[in-house]
Amino acid sequence: MKQYRLPVIMYQPSEETENKYMAEVTPLVGCRAWWNTPEEALDNLRNVAAEFIQSYREHGQRLPRAVEDSAYELVGPKTPAEVMVYV
């Protein structure tokens, strides 16, 4: 299973972010999540990023190079923290 360490930008609440925290993975255009706290925005962003990556695969599209370059394979026993998409 591949894991990804993706760069994230966190935006403070503002009118542009619907007065919520917004987290964004810039190499995946449009990959954003909003929520009331930074932690909740990141949790939601992990799910959104995983769905983006899955959608690329299902449609036979190549992932952006920055995303591919962040991938790594797990070796040895897996722990719950290792099976999450890292963003």
3-state secondary structure the chain: CEEEECCCEEECCCHHHCCCEEEECCCCCCCEEEECCHHHHHHHHHHHHHHHHHHHHHCCCCCCHHHHHCEEECCCCCCHHHHCCEC
| Predicted confidence (pLDDT) per residue in 33-53, tens digit | 999 999 999 999 999 999 999
Q: What is the pLDDT of residue 1?
A: 74
Q: Which two tokens stand for residue 40?
A: 């909740």
For residue 10, the domain's CATH number is 3.30.160.250
Q: Locate tokens 């930074």: which residue?
A: 38
Output the pLDDT for position 78: 54
Reported as a pLDDT band with limits 50, 70 and 90, residue 83 is: very low
Confidence check: pLDDT of 19 > 90 = yes
Name the residue range of residue 37's domain: 2-83
- Closest Cα to residue 8, out of 29, 32, 25? 25
| Overall number of domains in the chain | 1
Threshold 0.75, pTM exceeds: yes
